[in-house]
Structures are given as C-alpha cells and as structure tokens.
Amino acid sequence: MFISKPSILSLNKSYFLNPFHLLKKKKSLIFNLFFLLLTISGFSQKKNVSITGKIIESSSNQPVAYATVLLVDVNTKENITGTTTMDDGTFKLQTVVSKFYIEITFIGLKTKRIFDFQQHNGTIDLGNIFLEEDLEKLDAIVVEAEVSKTEFKLDKRIFNIGKDLSSTGASALEVLNNVPSVNVNIEGDISLRGSQGVQILINGKPSIIASDSGNALGTITADMMERVEVITNPSAKYDAEGTSGIINIVLKKEERKGLNGSASINIGDPTNHSFGLSLNRRTEKFNLFSQLGVGYRKLPNNRKNINRDLINNTILESEGTEFRNEKYYNIVLGTDYHINKNNVLTLSGNFAYEIEEQPSETNFSLFDGTERANWKRTEETEATNPKYQYELQYKRDFDDHEDHMLLFSALGQFFGKEQSSDFEDLTLMGADRDAIQKTRTDFKEANYTFKFDYTKPFNEKFTIETGAQYLLNNVSNDFEVQDLVGSDFISDPNQTNVFEFNQNVLGIYGTAAYEADKWGVKVGLRVENTDLETFLVNTNEQNNQNYSNLFPSFHSSYKFNNAYSLQIGYSRRVYRPRLWDLNPFFNIRNNFNIRTGNPELLPEFTDSFELTNIYNIGKASLNFGVYYRYTTNTIERSVSIFENNVNTFKPYNIGTTDAIGIEFNGKYPVAKWLVFNGDINYNAFKRQGDFNGTSIDFNANQWTGKLTSKLGLPADIDFEVTGNYQSDVKTVQGKIAENIFADLGLRKKIIKGKGVLNFSVRDIFASRIRKSETIQEEFYLFNRSLRGRFVTFGFSYGFGKGEALEYSGQRRRR
C-alpha cells in the first residue's frame, strides 16, 4: 500500500554508520521523507469500505462456518484480501480498493461470485448469501484425485486425508481402511498390525462415538476428518496399560450443519437380525447426537475335548454344541455445547440391556480300552445384563496456538449380570451318573475415570504435555453352586463364595517434544500407583497388592525425503490382570474341562523397542519394522492341572519372555478398481522359567499373514476378499495348531449413494477352527472349537447430510 516505504528499507547502511555521509545527503533524505508523508496523506484520503454478510447453506438453511470469502481485483483477477466465516456464518472485510468483486467458496458447495452490490455510507451489507451443493464438482474431484499421504511425527504416523477420500462422503471406517497398518474388514472390525483390541480416540480422547457399542464410527464422514494418527508404541501420555495400539481420529472444525442421520437393517444366518438408527443435529451452539439399536442373534459353538490319563490308560471324550442367544437394546444420547469458539462442554450417556439364553448339550464317553460309560449333560441358562455409561467433558482451546489446550473429563460405567443355570446329567450307558445342578450369579461392576490433560506449545518446534488420571474399579460377584441331594438343593461350599475386587490406579505424566523439519525427539515419564484388593468373603481369603512404577518413553524420527522416513521408539508397559483372570469361580458347563481364575495373579511388565521404516512410492505405501519385547512375570493363560480325568485350567505367572520380530505391510492400488493390502508379522521368542519345580525353558516362533484384495466391479459394486493365516505356536504345556480362513463381502451403493446394500460371509469354508494340545508325561489334552460360517445381508440409508452405514453388518462387541 505504501509505495515509498521500500525506498527507506533499501537505504544503504552507510547512512547510519557514517555521520559525515549522512550530513552530506541531508537534503536528499529530507526530500524523501517529505515525499513519503505526502504519499501517506494521499492514501489516507481514500475511503475505507466495510463489507459484511452471512453465508447460509441453501438445503439445510444452516450457517456455514469457515467458508472462504475473497475480494478479487476486477482487472487483474488477483486476490486483494480475504477472511473465513465465523461459527455463525458471518464475516467482515475492509478495503480501500474501489473495483472488486466478492468470491465465496466452501468444499462441496458451489462457488459464488458477487459483482453487483450497493454501498451506503462506506458499508456494503450483503445480507444472507445462500450456497448450493455442487454434486458435479464432487464427482470431478474423485476423477482428479489428490493422493492421501502418510508422514512421520515422533511417536506416531499421520495419515492426512486427501481429496480422494474427503470428497467422496465415505465413512470413517472406509477412511481407516486406507490407512497403512490399519485394516477394517467387511464387518467394520478394526485391526492394527493384524491385531484387534485397538483403542480408538476422537480428537485425542475417549469418546462415546468411538465406543464398541453400535456402529457410531459409521456416522463420521470423510469430509469431517482432517487426519488419522496411528500410534503403535504409545508415549507416556497414554495409559501404561498394554494394548495393540492407538488410532486417533482428528476432526475438522467445520462440522456438518442441520439434521443428519442413517438407518440400517440386517438379517443373517445363523440368526443375526438387527436394526439401527443414528441421528445428529448441529446448530450454532449445540451438536446433538443419538443412536438406537435393537437385535437378536444366535452364536453356536461346536466343541470337542479329549482328556487322556496316561497313568491309568483311560480316555474321556466330550462333544457338543453350545449356543449364546441374545436380544439386545441400546440407546446413546449426547450433546456438545459450544460455549464459544474456545470452550466446549460435552455430556453423553449410553444405556444397553441384554437378555441371554445359553442352551447347550454335551455327550460324554469314557473308555479304558473299550467304552465303559456314556452320558449326556444339558444346560439351560438365562441372564439379564443392564449396562450404562455417562460422561462429562470440558475442553478449552487457547488463541495463541491451535494445539494449546486443556481437557478434563469424568466418566462413569456400570455393568450388571443376574444369571441362573440348570444342569442335568443323564446316564445313557454304564454306571449311574444322573445328577442335577444349579448355579446362580449376581454380578456388579462399576468404573469411574477422572482425567486431566494440558498441552502447551512454546513455539512451532517445542511442546510439553502434562496430566493425570484416576481410575476406580469396584466389583462384587456372588456365585453359588447347588447340587440336588434327595429332594433338596444343597449349596457346594467348595464352589460357592462372594468375590470382591477393588482396583484404583493413579497416573501422572509429563512429556517434552522437539520437532524440526527433518527430525524430532520426544521423551516422557509416567508414574502410576496401583492399589489392588481381592477378598473371598465366605473363606476370608485376601490378596492385597500396592505397587508404584515408572513408565518412561522415548521416540525419535528422521525424514530423509518425502518418500522415506525412519522412526525409533521405546516404552515400558504393564498388563494388569483383568477381573476374569482373577475371579476364582468355576465355569462348569463342561464339568470335566473347567476354567477358573487365579486371585494371586501378578501384573506382567514389558519393555518394548521398535525401529520402523515407511516408504511412499507413487501410489504404494510400504512399511517395514523390527521390534523387540522383554516381558517379566509373563501370564500364561491356560495352564492345566489334571486329576481324575478332570482338566482344571487357569492363568499363572511363569518366568520371562524374550521376543524379537519383523513386520511388513503394504498397500498398492493397481488401478482405481483394484487395491491389494498385505500384512506379514513374524516373531521368534524364548521362554524361561519353571512351574511347580519343572523347567519350562524353550525357544519357538510364530507368524501371521493376511492378504486383502478390493475390486471395483461394474454397476458400482465393491467386492472384497481377505485370506488369513496363523501358524502353529508352542505353549508352556503343548501347542496351538495353525489356522487358515477367508472372508468375503459385496457392497452396492444405490439411491445416489444414500443407500447401501451389504452382503458378507465370514469364514467362507468353515475352516476357522481352533485346535490346541496339552502334552505332558502324565496326561494328554485335545481341544477343538468351531463357530462355522456366518452370512449377513443388510441395507443402510442415510438422510440429511448423513451417509449410509457401509459396514452395517458389524459384529456387536462388548
């Protein structure tokens, strides 16, 4: 604007360094300053023009936040100035230029140019400006796609969502399936490095949207997503509790406005019927979300067991089918209240209710060279499971930096179970084994989590994080077994008790990170104190543990170029025994193969190291990693004790485990209609320790492989087939057999993409069979389990701005 200003900036330094030279040029300097004042005065005579208005989306009649508003010079077509709209869609600009037009743009909406407007007293009020959807432009963007890219950031890999995804309206689940190291099968199950049990975060924190209840992630569309962060070796900021990894979905600030939603209906064989409804309403201040789900399904499980007594030369065989049939109802309600642009308050709740039936029938045969006895055991079990969750969350963003924020959340969860079972043994041949038993379970569990996080970037390179978390877990399990003696049911004192479990974990952490253009380093330390108490009321048995631990973490990365990056990481993790690892009660469905917990179980600790390479070669993405894990107090989950043909197995802490492995995964889009995705993971491990005075030292290895191909067929049909292989693996007492199976799915979009038809088959060849052997000097055990083939057909429909749930056949998880 000030055309004379550059002449001052370009003055030779000698004017200031040499006073004699300055005096000599005094007249010239005074003339230049006088000319500058005249120029400024001339410009100040031009009138300032203020332009205001409000951008509204025509279809929903809702304001458009973060739309781009530009003033463009009529003659040169160059941008004069610009801004983005506020949350309420309003904007304000000022200019001294007289000849310009106004251009308004927003992704997915038609660009609008305004040439005719009236000025009144130095103000141009455009009022409400309506923008329409641009479906043709969206289709064009898909053809001229911008490939999404992966980049390294210290302790994470970041997948920035490109136009090829953000413009198609795909669901978050479909987006995740394009992220290296992450896979989503046709049912919507998410895995990281081939392992499920991934923790999903939204904007860096747990969310009801990312919970296992229902298909909430299907309601997040790609154009709401900014990036996906993959964390395979979490830093000290995250819980020290061991998981297979963390996926953090970061949403854009511009959320969809208006009423959005989707509905889905599914049928399956074996019986798997469900209906789901999702609604979302976004206004200037509130984001209201809700979900409703109902369903009924049957889960058969075919089992076979062989118990062989090598001392007495007897064999007990059992074979039968178990069912888990359940009706379920689920509702989610919540709201985000945007107090202002920096403060958001979220309140959400979830209630679910399940009604279970578990009929089973098992046939037993006893041999000692010839068949000596044969009998049948039947079960009728009924249970009700109420569960609910509620969360209050407050987030504060600061103006000085987009990552400067404070977050506080309070989460409460409850799960209950009232269950009764009737068992009957009926003799078919041999000695009389007729018997009737009953069991009763009254289970209650409450969890409370309070969390505080603070992130402070001091500049674009240096950031610190600090926070704390307090977790309270309280459980009571009243369990009773009764035997029919004569005409009365008598309680069995050896299998009846009240188990109380209380665990409190307090964690405090701090991290510091320095990240330059090419390389970075991040160090952190987490301190956790665990206070655990278990108590068997009837027998007055206690197991109290209180321990504090340090969990350091270190990450560093170096970016050689846009195609190749390298990352190293270290973290110390802990696996605290879960409730069902500690719960001593017996499952007597098959009373010759009994599973129980171990209340004296100790936590296991792991030091984890990894070195990871990532390559981006054209459209292909390749990852290669080497990792090492050292675990103490290793928990072996199925250690068998054999007596009188009865196999009782439970978890024990046995020695240490050294494991070193390599991982390779890659995605390659051969064409727009054909994409391959492969994962291979191999590790060799060494076990050392002893059990009951016997050494269990041995070396072994295992590997898994998966290949997924996605094929785009004519008529807008997507086809997917996945093959899985798991090698056999040696255990402390025996081995687990290899496993190979395949899944397939078909997907067809209809009604201009608003509707989706789904067809999926899990375990096409019914080959997903789990076999295990326990081989000891005194006994031999064989276990076989098969769930069989599952076929599901579904239809989903999205309305408003919502997209159909393309993974409507997702397995409901606990």
Domain annotation covers residue 267: no
pLDDT above 50 for 812: no
Same domain, 716 and 787: yes
Task: Report percent pLDDT > 90 for the chain.
Answer: 36
Same domain, 503 and 473: yes
Residue that finishes a domain, picked among 133, 166, 200: 133
| Tokens 């005075």 found at | 693
Please list, residue by residue across 170-197, b when 16 or more beta carbons sit within 10 angstroms of its beta carbon and e when fewer do: bbbbbbbbbbbbbbbbbbbbbbbbbeee
pLDDT above 90 for 404: yes
What are the tokens at 96?
């001294």
Which of the two residues, 150 and 329, has the higher pLDDT score?
329
Residues for the chain: how many in total? 814
What are the tokens at 394?
């407050």
Instruction: List the CATH number of the domain containing 333.
Output: 2.40.170
What are the tokens at 410?
């309070």
Same domain, 528 and 443: yes
Q: Provide the pLDDT confidence category of residue 143 given band limits of 50, 70 and 90.
A: very low
> How far is it, in rounded angstroms, from Cα 400 to Cα 459?
10
pLDDT above 70 for 40: no
How far is residue 664 from each of residues 194, 612, 619, measured CA to CA in Å?
11, 10, 17
How high is the pLDDT of residue 161?
Answer: 64
* Mean pLDDT, residues 569-593 taken together: 85
> How far is it, in rounded angstroms, from Cα 162 to Cα 166?
6
DSSP 490-553: EE-GGG-EEEEEEEEEEEEEEEEEEE-SSEEEEEEEEEEEEEEEEEETTTTEEEEEEEEEEEEE
Q: Which of 151-160, 289-298, 663-672, 736-745 has the lowest mean pLDDT?
A: 151-160
Same domain, 304 and 237: no
Same domain, 350 and 393: yes
H/E stretch holding 579 reads helix 579-582
Domain annotation covers residue 271: no
What are the tokens at 182?
């992450």
Same domain, 155 and 301: no
Residue that finishes a domain, picked among 133, 164, 183: 133
Q: What are phi and psi of 655, to 5 degrees?
A: 60, -150
pLDDT above 90 for 470: yes
Would you give the distance in Å from CA 193 to the centre of its chain?
13
How high is the pLDDT of residue 33?
Answer: 44
Same domain, 391 and 242: no
| Tokens 């309506």 found at | 130
How far is residue 579 from each of residues 350, 381, 420, 444, 503, measured CA to CA in Å?
22, 22, 20, 12, 10
Domain annotation covers residue 806: no
Domain annotation covers residue 662: yes
| Tokens 């727009």 found at | 672
Mapping DSSP onto H, E and C, the string for 331-365 reads EEEEEEEEEECCEEEEEEEEEEEEEEECCEEEEEE
Q: Provide the pLDDT confidence category of residue 334 given band limits of 50, 70 and 90.
A: confident
* Mean pLDDT, residues 482-507 taken together: 93
> How far is it, in rounded angstroms, from Cα 1 to Cα 584?
80
Helix (H, G, I), strand (E, B) or coil at 800: coil
| Among the listed residues 211, 242, 245, 243, the one whose alpha carbon sits nearest the alpha carbon of residue 228 | 245
Neighbours of 585 (CB within 10 A): 22
* Mean pLDDT, residues 490-509 taken together: 93
How high is the pLDDT of residue 109?
Answer: 78
Q: Which of 21-35, 143-157, 238-252, 462-476 has the lowest mean pLDDT?
A: 21-35
- Is residue 508 within 8 Å of 468, Cβ to Cβ? yes
What are the tokens at 522?
């991040």
Q: Provide the pLDDT confidence category of residue 643 given band limits of 50, 70 and 90.
A: very high
Instruction: List the CATH number of the domain containing 63.
Output: 2.60.40.10
Q: Which of 194-208, 512-526, 676-690, 751-765 has the lowest mean pLDDT?
A: 194-208
Range of the domain at 120: 49-133
Same domain, 89 and 64: yes
What are the tokens at 324?
């888990």
Q: Provide the pLDDT confidence category of residue 798 given band limits of 50, 70 and 90.
A: confident
> How far is it, in rounded angstroms, from Cα 784 to Cα 303?
6
* Mean pLDDT, residues 172-182 taken together: 65
Same domain, 285 and 220: no
How high is the pLDDT of residue 7?
Answer: 37
Would you give the distance in Å from CA 81 to the centre of its chain?
41
How high is the pLDDT of residue 63?
Answer: 82
What are the tokens at 463?
């950031």
| Among the listed residues 478, 419, 476, the one whose alpha carbon sits nearest the alpha carbon of residue 445 | 476
> How far is it, in rounded angstroms, from Cα 108 to Cα 135?
7
pLDDT above 50 for 164: no
DSSP 190-206: EEETTB--PEEEETTB-
How far is residue 588 from each of residues 68, 256, 344, 495, measured CA to CA in Å?
66, 52, 50, 10
| Among the listed residues 759, 692, 768, 776, the one whose alpha carbon sits nearest the alpha carbon of residue 720 | 759
Same domain, 680 and 735: yes
How high is the pLDDT of residue 528?
Answer: 95
Residue that finishes a domain, picked among 228, 258, 288: 258
Q: Provide the pLDDT confidence category of residue 811 given band limits of 50, 70 and 90.
A: very low
pLDDT above 60 for 20: no
How far is residue 223 from each of residues 86, 92, 164, 226, 256, measured CA to CA in Å?
19, 26, 10, 8, 9
Domain annotation covers residue 810: no
H/E stretch holding 269 reads strand 258-269
pLDDT above 70 for 333: yes
Q: Provide the pLDDT confidence category of residue 65 given band limits of 50, 70 and 90.
A: confident
- Domains contained in the chain, number: 4
Residues 341-382 pLDDT 10s: 889 898 988 888 999 999 999 999 999 988 899 999 999 999
How high is the pLDDT of residue 480?
Answer: 94
pLDDT above 80 for 492: yes
Instruction: List the CATH number of the domain containing 148.
Output: 2.170.130.10
Residues 657-707 pLDDT 10s: 999 999 888 888 888 788 888 889 898 999 999 988 888 999 999 988 888
Same domain, 609 and 747: yes
Q: Provide the pLDDT confidence category of residue 423 given band limits of 50, 70 and 90.
A: very high
How far is residue 590 from each of residues 216, 219, 326, 484, 491, measured CA to CA in Å?
37, 42, 21, 18, 19
Same domain, 505 and 638: yes
Sequence-separated (6 or more) residues with CB below 8 Å from residue 432: none
* Mean residue pLDDT across the chain: 81
pLDDT above 50 for 34: no
Domain annotation covers residue 164: yes
- Is residue 690 within 8 Å of 655, Cβ to Cβ? yes
How high is the pLDDT of residue 349?
Answer: 87
Domain annotation covers residue 266: no
Domain annotation covers residue 269: no
Instruction: Please name every residue paired with 244 in a beta bridge, in sequence order, or none if there are none.
Output: none
Q: Provide the pLDDT confidence category of residue 110 given band limits of 50, 70 and 90.
A: confident
How high is the pLDDT of residue 151?
Answer: 60
Residues 75-105 pLDDT 10s: 877 778 888 788 678 998 888 887 889 999 8
Instruction: Kindly report the pTM of this predicted structure.
Output: 0.73
